[in-house]
Amino acid sequence: MAALYPEIEPYDHGLLDTGDGNLIYWEACGNPTGRPALVLHGGPGSGCSTAARRQFDPEAYRIILFDQRNCGRSLPSAADPETDLSLNTTWHLVADIEKLRLLLGIDRWLLFGNSWGSTLTLAYAETHPQRVTAIVISGVTTTRRSEIDWLCRGMAPLFPEEWHRFHQGIPSGARELGEDIVSAYHRLLNDPDPETRLKAARDWHDWEAASILLADPGGLPRRWADPAYVLTRARIITHYFVNGAWLEDGVLLKNAARLADIPGILLQGRFDIEAPLVTAWELARAWPQSELELLPHASHSIANPDMSAAIVAATDRFRDFPQK
């Protein structure tokens, strides 16, 4: 079983000025002359992690990570209620990736994305296929309406107690009117009252924790204890979900033929409750150049040992492919 590579520090980092008031934090690790690889983090709004640096051979890869708009070390932060998220959409992120590629002088790169990062990977690769050498994605999502509904409501029969608490987090008046739960939490996370916003952020993460702890009893990410982090993440997630990620429903599967010249590895845990297997299966059928690897003991989290080992094995495989 492949293990994560040793911890490393960036050899370079900076802030990309997008020209519209946003500054995007980026960092480069590994071999400055190695094969370029870009990490697209999940959430949306989770920010990049130090563990993601360790999923690539640092002797072979030039590993690029960045915090997507308004999260992590990028500015301004979504934790600030005054931060306008109207310029934070899937297509702004796709444009940011291209600006970063040009800034760093990279012609083509391998893409790795987990969870929401897999959606962003597909959106970028289908828009700029000539810039992608290979793709590795795990916890496969395309952020269709059905996937959003499953994550925010469909899982309820599996976690009735946690669902009850999540649903009770909405004011009774909104519940009586039947307000959609994503819309309700989006409204609460943009409320003028800071305590209302923080409670909504914690309630949102408590609901996500139900499925995470079932499959990964080792515990929740430490960052979830940080109020600014949960505010940032929940506000961005609901912003994306309430807008359907600005994607025509099912478009990433419909346009999978654009990936025809790109090899891919799809890693899916059998115990991934957040992203059911059907999406990975449908993508593999629509993209014959990809390989679907089902991990019988893995879940959604890249911290799961089986999943992290599979990610390293996949990037090692592409490391050894001849350069074109």
For 265-295, the pLDDT digits (tens) are 999 999 899 999 999 999 999 999 999 999 9
pLDDT for position 156: 94
List residues with catalytic annotation. 115, 272, 300
User: Is 6 in a helix, a strand, or coil?
Assistant: coil
- Which pLDDT band, with edges at 50, 70 and 90, does 323 fall under? low
> How far is it, in rounded angstroms, from Cα 267 to Cα 265?
6
Query: pTM for the full model?
Result: 0.95
- Which pLDDT band, with edges at 50, 70 and 90, does 222 fall under? confident
pLDDT for position 218: 61
Question: pLDDT over 90 for what percent of the chain?
Answer: 85
- Whether the Cβ atoms of residue 302 and residue 49 lie closer than 8 Å to each other: no
> How far is it, in rounded angstroms, from Cα 26 to Cα 74?
8
Question: What's the mean per-residue pLDDT of the chain?
Answer: 93
Which structural domains are found in the chain, ordered by start?
A: 12-146+248-319 (3.40.50.1820), 152-245 (no CATH)
pLDDT for position 210: 84
| One-character DSSP codes across 303-317 | TSHHHHHHHHHHHHH
pLDDT for position 1: 46
Query: Which range, of 121-130, 210-219, 252-261, 294-303, averages the lowest pLDDT?
Result: 210-219
CA 172 to chain centre: 32
User: Is 273 in a helix, a strand, or coil?
Assistant: coil
Which residue from 185, 198, 200, 189 is spatially nearest to 148, judged by alpha carbons? 185
For 62-95, the pLDDT digits (tens) are 999 999 999 999 999 999 999 999 999 999 999 9
| One-character DSSP codes across 199-259 | HHHHHHHHHHHHHHHHH-TT---GGGG-HHHHHHHHHHHHHHHHTGGG--TTHHHHTGGGG
65: which strand partners?
27, 39
For 12-22, the pLDDT digits (tens) are 999 999 999 99
- Whether the Cβ atoms of residue 77 and residue 50 lie closer than 8 Å to each other: no
Which residue from 139, 149, 92, 150 is spatially nearest to 116, judged by alpha carbons? 139
Q: For residue 175, is pLDDT > 70?
A: no
Residues in contact with 134: Cβ distance below 8 Å, sequence separation at least 6, in sequence order: 110, 111, 262, 263, 264, 318, 321
User: Is 301 in a helix, a strand, or coil?
Assistant: coil
> How far is it, in rounded angstroms, from Cα 285 to Cα 102?
33
For 35-51, the pLDDT digits (tens) are 999 999 999 999 999 99
Tokens of 63: 């590993």
> How far is it, in rounded angstroms, from Cα 220 to Cα 299?
13
The 3-state secondary structure of 74-118 reads CECCCCCCCCCCCCCCHHHHHHHHHHHHHHCCCCCEEEEEECHHH
> How far is it, in rounded angstroms, from Cα 277 to Cα 284?
11
pLDDT for position 84: 95
pLDDT for position 324: 57
CA 88 to chain centre: 14
Q: For residue 220, is pLDDT > 70?
A: no
Q: For residue 217, is pLDDT > 60?
A: no
The secondary structure element, H or E, covering residue 38 is: strand 35-40
Query: Which range, of 141-155, 168-182, 280-294, 296-310, averages the lowest pLDDT?
Result: 168-182
The predicted model gives 307-324 an average pLDDT of 88
Which residue, chain included where needed, has tokens 């599979």?
Answer: 310
For residues 178 and 155, the model is more confident at 155
Residue 177 has a CB neighbour count (10 Å cut-off) of 10
> How far is it, in rounded angstroms, from Cα 165 to Cα 290?
40
